[in-house]
């Protein structure tokens, strides 16, 4: 590996570490739960046969399915502290996620399934304190995780799995299990073909993969503590306001309604709250304008 590649890989690893540390400290004292911390709409979660618009702060549990739309992203913190990131047009299933308190180690056991789209699982400094046994199915590939940083994608019959850091057991049905332990390596499992040998990823490939699951700052990012919002429409008809909110929620936009008094007149405002910055709010306002009967939405700060 040449010096420029080594330098770039170190910078990439440093970025991941800093991000993980920041997120770990920010939520270290929260009750253990699988929490959506940040995202870009549209996105949904399916539970009990019904679908709901995903929003920051949503608590997810075993049996839930997350779906993302075009250009969407989701950042989810698992109950044991690890971070899951999803890219656009993804379908991600939480089949199992609980802590086994019957053993002294209190091992967190997880079974996650990437049915479609790009996915990343990163163990944070906070998560390193927790014993874990997590299996991730990336299409036809099964990866056993104990503490590491991985990236995977299942798309159109081709599954790609990349190890960014750590050590994992990898198994594909009908093939022998093998171990991956060298950073920045990957395999490809194409339908009807034998899984490729382990290959080394160059810097451009690693950065390209990472971008598929990273939040796009300034492009409609919502966070738990976001202070910017957009008023989409102001109505005096509760029924119409609720109908618009439901329409937006069905479309994967986490809208809500709020009643306000303007010079003695009561209005019901349909809004989306929690944008990370003014740029994020402006980006979404531009995108949603002229849709669903919305015209000239305006930005507010909370």
Beta partners for 187? 161
- The structure's pTM equals 0.85
* CATH code of the domain occupying 221-301: 3.30.70.1070
Comparing 3-213 with 221-301, is the CATH topology the same? no
CATH for 3-213 is 2.60.120.1440
CA distance 295 to 285: 10
Domain range list for the chain: 3-213, 221-301
Distance in angstroms (rounded) separating the CA atoms of residues 59 and 49: 17
The pLDDT tens digits of the residues spanning 68-101 come to: 999 999 999 988 888 999 999 999 999 987 776 7
Q: What is the DSSP string of 174-223?
A: TS--EEE-SSSEEEEEETTSPPPPPEEPPHHHHHHHHHHHS--TTSSEEE
- Sites in the chain below the pLDDT cut of 50: 1-31, 127
Contacts of 254 (CB under 8 A, 6+ apart): 41, 53, 54, 55, 222, 272, 274
Q: What pLDDT sits at residue 203?
A: 87
To which H or E segment does residue 91 belong? strand 91-100
Q: What is the largest CA-CA distance in the chain?
A: 73
Q: How far is CA 155 from CA 69, 89, 114, 145, in A?
A: 15, 10, 10, 22
């Amino acid at each position: 590996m040449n010096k420029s590649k080594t330098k770039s890989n170190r910078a990439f690893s440093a970025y991941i570490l800093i991000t993980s540390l920041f997120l770990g400290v920010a939520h270290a004292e929260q009750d253990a739960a699988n929490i959506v911390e940040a995202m870009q709409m549209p996105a949904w979660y399916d539970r009990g046969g019904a679908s709901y618009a995903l929003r920051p702060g949503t608590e997810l549990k075993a049996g839930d399915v997350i779906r993302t739309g075009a250009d969407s992203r989701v950042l989810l913190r698992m109950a044991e502290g690890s971070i899951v990131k999803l890219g656009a047009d993804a379908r991600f299933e939480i089949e199992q996620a609980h802590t086994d308190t019957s053993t002294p180690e209190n091992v967190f056991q997880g079974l996650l399934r990437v049915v479609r789209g790009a996915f990343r699982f990163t163990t944070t400094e906070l998560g390193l304190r927790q014993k874990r046994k997590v299996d991730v199915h990336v299409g036809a590939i099964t990866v056993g995780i104990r503490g590491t940083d991985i990236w995977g994608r299942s798309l159109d019959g081709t599954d790609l799995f990349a190890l960014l850091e750590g050590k994992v057991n990898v198994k594909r049905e009908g093939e022998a299990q093998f171990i991956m332990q060298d950073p920045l390596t990957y395999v490809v499992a194409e339908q009807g073909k034998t899984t490729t040998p382990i290959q080394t990823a160059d810097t451009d490939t690693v950065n390209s993969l990472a971008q598929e699951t990273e939040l796009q700052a300034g492009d409609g990012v919502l966070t738990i503590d976001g202070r910017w919002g957009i008023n989409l429409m102001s109505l005096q008809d509760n029924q119409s306001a609720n109908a618009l909110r439901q329409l937006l929620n069905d479309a994967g936009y986490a809208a809500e309604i709020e009643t306000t008094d303007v010079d003695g007149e009561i209005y019901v405002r349909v809004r989306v709250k929690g944008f990370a910055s003014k740029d994020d709010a402006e980006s979404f306002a531009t995108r949603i304008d002229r849709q669903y009967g919305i015209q000239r939405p305006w930005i507010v700060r909370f």
